[in-house]
Structure formats: C-alpha cells, structure tokens
Amino acid sequence: MKGCKGRVLAMLYLPVIFSVILLSCASDISHDHSGHNMMLSEDGMVMNNNAHRLPFGCDVISKQYEFVVSAGRRYAADNPGAVFGMSQHDYRVEACSRISVVFSNEDEVRHQWMVHGLPKYLYPGGMFHLEAMAGKTIQGTFIVPAGDQTYLVHCDMAQHMEKGMKGQLVVGNGSGNLWNVYNTSDTFLKSEYLPAHTSRWVLLFAVIAFILTYGLLRR
C-alpha cells in the first residue's frame, strides 16, 4: 500500500523521535514528576526546593536573601496593559547565594513564581517552582549558581506572563535585562497606540510639505 510510506519512514525515525519526545516531554507526558522534587500541600506546590546542595563552582553560600512576594490583580494596577502582577519583578542577588521566597497569592485563582534556566543537575527541568492556591502563601528555598546570569521569573499559567507576571532574577552582574519586565525594561513588540485616522494626518502633512517646498523652489 502506498499509505505505508509515511509509516515506514515513521518506523525508521521512531528511535530518534522516541528519545526526543522522552527528553522534551519527560516532565509531562505521563505527567511524571518523579524526576522533580515536588512537595504538594493544600496551599499549593513547591518543586525542586534546595536549601543545601551547592552548585558547581560554589564553595560556600555567599549570602542569604529572603524575598516576600505577593501576586495578584492588585499589583498590575499601575502597569498599563497588564492584568496580573507581582509585588516585585526585579530581583538582584549575589552568585552562590541562598534565596528564600515567601509567595502570597492575593487572587482567587492560582498563581506561580518560577525560575527557569537553573542547572539541571540540581533542579530537574532547570526550574524552581512555587505555586500558591487562591489566597494562600507558599515558601521555598533554592541556591543560585556561580556566574553572572539573568534568569526568567514568571507565572506560567496561560497568558499570565504575557499579561504582567514576568520578572527577572539577576545573579551577580547578570547577563543583561530581559525584555518586558515591569518597571525595569522595555516592551519588545509594541502594539499600535496611534490616534484614529493617523493615515489622514500623515497624508495631510505630506501634502503641506510638498506645497511649501514647491513654492520655495519656484520663487
């Protein structure tokens, strides 16, 4: 059958695809969090808590930080175009420091405070993840690696990062600002905020410029 061609190809590629899918979906396909160190409670979830294991290149804990962060609609009030927000979006710490986050959710829906891009040998999936149920507070600790690096901090519920819940964790001197962090960095793709009928005004100004120039040249 002709229809088999795709399947024959599929069989050839299967081993490759298997491993790719396994690698990329390990955290989800059976929703297998076995690799993650996950603590569930009525208040929410802490994933990959790490108070003691030092990343490579760190001999000691350089410093101790505690961030008390609130999340909710309220914290987007001063951020035009945002719907959700956090009480702090920009976090700056020393390399090899230990960070405790106390995350309080003031809304009636879930919110998350997660860091991405951490070393996977310490943090499966490269993430540290706090998730607080409506009105709850959740707390967790992690240790940042050596080296200057800026990490993404966000809420990964659909559209929450896009609509305001985006922050950054700058370790050491960082590696530059991320785009679109409230009160810290600019928006990357800007929507249109022009008045109505802008094109007519543009046309009018072009015509005026033409007439004036023409007049000047003819004199």
Alpha-carbon separation of residue 183 from 80, 88, 153, 157 (angstroms): 11, 10, 14, 22
30 binds, among Cu ion, another protein, none (CB under 5 to 8 A by kind): another protein
The 10 Å Cβ neighbour count of residue 108 is 10
**114-153 CB burial, b ≥16 within 10 A, e <16:** bbbebeeebbbbebbbbbbbeebbbbbbbbbbbeebbbbb
- Count CA within 13 A, CB hemisphere, residue 123: 25
Q: Is 30 in the site for another protein (CB under 8 A)?
A: yes
Whole-angstrom Cα Rg for the chain: 25
Per-position x/- string for 83-102, each x denoting binding to another protein as judged by CB under 8 A, each - no binding: xx------------------
Verify binding: residue 12, another protein, rule CB under 8 A. Answer: no
Q: Cα torsion at 181, 185, 189, 193 (round to 10°)?
A: 100
Q: How far is the CB of 4 from another protein (least distance, A)?
A: 9
159 binds another protein (CB under 8 A): yes
- Taking CA atoms, 181 is separated from 114, 141, 152, in Å, by 15, 23, 10
Interface with Cu ion by CB under 5 A: which residues? Answer: 111, 155, 157, 160, 165
Nearer to another protein by C-beta: 35 or 57? Answer: 35
To Cu ion, the closest distance from the beta carbon of 55 in angstroms equals 28
Choose which of 48, 58, 72, 128 interacts with another protein (CB under 8 A).
Answer: 72
Which one of the spans 61-69, 107-115, 196-204, 210-218 is the region binding another protein (CB under 8 A)? 107-115
Contact residues for another protein (CB under 8 A)? 1-3, 5-7, 9-10, 13-14, 17-18, 21-22, 24-33, 38, 40, 42, 45, 47, 72-73, 81, 83-84, 107-110, 112, 114, 116-117, 125-127, 129, 131, 133-134, 156-163, 179-180, 187-189, 191-192
